[in-house]
Amino acid sequence: MTQPVEPLAPLIDDEYTGLPLKRSLARLLEKRESGVRGVGVYCTYAPVELIRAAGAVPITLCAYANKTIPEAEKVLPANLCPLIKSSYGFIATDTCPFFKLAEAVVAETTCDGKKKMYELIASVKPMHVCDLPQMPEGAQAQAHWEAVLRKLKSFLEETLETTIADEAVERELRETNAKNRLMLRFFDYVAHTPPAVSWSEMYDVIAVAQVATLPELEAFLAPVFERLDGRVNAGRGFGDARSPRVLVTGCPVNGDSAKVFRVIEELGGVVVGLEGCSGMKPFRIQFEEGTPDPLAAVARAYLTVPCSCMTPNDLRIEGIDDLVARYAPDVAVDVVLQACHTFNIESHRVGAHVRERHGLPFLKVETDYSTGDVERIRLRLEALFGQVRK
């Protein structure tokens, strides 16, 4: 039987303690007070390197709460994706503190629902919608995306009254590479048996990484690595020998949709992989350094992000293979938000692949941000875990 572990949060320096959202807000307020301006983003495709090169800080905007959806449904259709409805609801109710801190918003065309939602909020803040090519292979897609990012560069320069130099873009893409290497090192602790990090701790650290500079992240992670090494050396981790190791794939999951993680944990499972954009995916991006045109390097790197809006999306399957090899899950759970058609359709391919290639039991969970389906999810996960428990 694995010995229980102490929560990670109390072992973190005082300036980082507290709930993740409050901690992120506090750090952003500090930056704002020091004169750093903020630019809101919703998606992994938003090139934060250009925002940072403009002397601003990227701010991830609110999108994961059920409480704002009733207000959103006064305007948006009820059968729309909950992430979109929640995002719009936060703005309609003026309850997202991160949106208030943003000078502008960088949006993207990953789905039709988000595109139309952006039209509704375009009058609230200065906004630039990046036209993302959705057939990413080939020179034509690269040329188009480069042109889009150059327009974004001009938008940021005009809105923030600054100049973005190539040297600044190069510096920021190098910083992202270094931060991503640190985060991949952090995720390595999940690969242990038992995993030395829980899903909630992963989200706590991700919340810090989203707003921290490289020196800040290095300072934050140094004691975390030391304490996690202590866990590993003592054989302390989450779950026990019978705990199913779960790879979670699919849509971004956070806030109210994290109910799936909580049920996994309540049933004795441990989450060892977060494939989605709210998890490990953004930290797998790597930029080519030292090129004559760093903005082109940024464009190339972001076209490797394997969102289900892309076709063909072979890179997502390759990424899942990497996660299976690294974290050795026993089962895969694909979380699909209602009305997210691309992830819903692609779930068939993901399920077939993990069953046939890796021999993993697979479950698709189609859900929203409410709690009405928690017991149904619990029953289905119990049946899934029954296939692998010793």
Last residue of a domain, one of 168, 192, 217: 168
- My answer on whether 156 and 241 are in the same domain is no
Least confident of 43-47, 89-93, 211-215, 343-347: 211-215
- My answer on whether 219 and 350 are in the same domain is yes
Output the pTM of the full model. Answer: 0.94
The predicted pLDDT at position 16 comes to 45
- CATH number of the domain bearing residue 137: 3.40.50.11890
The predicted pLDDT at position 31 comes to 81
Residue 193: exposed, middle, or buried by beta-carbon count in 10 A (0-12, 13-18, 19+)? middle
CB 331 within 8 A of CB 244: yes
- Domain limits at 321? 173-386
203-262 per-position pLDDT tens digit: 989 988 998 899 999 999 999 999 999 999 999 999 988 899 999 999 999 999 999 999
The predicted pLDDT at position 24 comes to 74
- My answer on whether 195 and 62 are in the same domain is no
CB 238 within 8 A of CB 195: yes
Q: How far apart are CA 57 and CA 55, in angstroms?
A: 7
- CATH number of the domain bearing residue 251: 3.40.50.11900
Residue at 4 is within a domain: no
The predicted pLDDT at position 35 comes to 84
- My answer on whether 189 and 131 are in the same domain is no
CB 245 within 8 A of CB 264: no
Q: How far apart are CA 283 and CA 238, in angstroms?
A: 23
Residue at 216 is within a domain: yes
Within the chain, where are the H helices?
Answer: 20-33, 48-53, 69-72, 82-92, 97-101, 112-121, 139-160, 166-188, 199-211, 214-233, 259-266, 294-302, 314-327, 341-358, 374-386
- My answer on whether 161 and 207 are in the same domain is no
Last residue of a domain, one of 168, 194, 223: 168
Measured in degrees and rounded to the nearest 5, phi and psi for residue 37 equal -90, 155
Residues 6+ apart with CB under 8 A from 321: 357, 358
The predicted pLDDT at position 32 comes to 79
- My answer on whether 179 and 151 are in the same domain is no
- My answer on whether 203 and 228 are in the same domain is yes
Residue at 79 is within a domain: yes
Residue at 354 is within a domain: yes
- My answer on whether 182 and 264 are in the same domain is yes
Instruction: Return the higher-pLDDT residue of 275 and 6.
Output: 275
The single-letter code of the amino acid at 44 is: T
Residue at 2 is within a domain: no
The predicted pLDDT at position 11 comes to 42
Q: How far is CA 243 from CA 110, 143, 173, 340, in A?
A: 36, 48, 39, 30
Residue at 293 is within a domain: yes
Strands, sheet with 331-337, edge to edge from the N-terminal-most edge strand: 270-274, 245-250, 331-337, 362-367
Count structural domains, the chain. 2
pLDDT, mean of residues 133-141: 94
The predicted pLDDT at position 327 comes to 98
- My answer on whether 149 and 178 are in the same domain is no
pLDDT band at 18 (very low <50, low <70, confident <90, very high): very low
Residue at 3 is within a domain: no
- My answer on whether 203 and 295 are in the same domain is yes
Residue at 276 is within a domain: yes
- My answer on whether 99 and 213 are in the same domain is no
- My answer on whether 231 and 152 are in the same domain is no
- Rg (C-alpha) for the chain, rounded Å, is 20
Last residue of a domain, one of 122, 145, 168: 168
Structure token digits, residue 254: 């956070």
CB 148 within 8 A of CB 136: no
Reply yes or no on whether the pLDDT at 84 is more than 50: yes
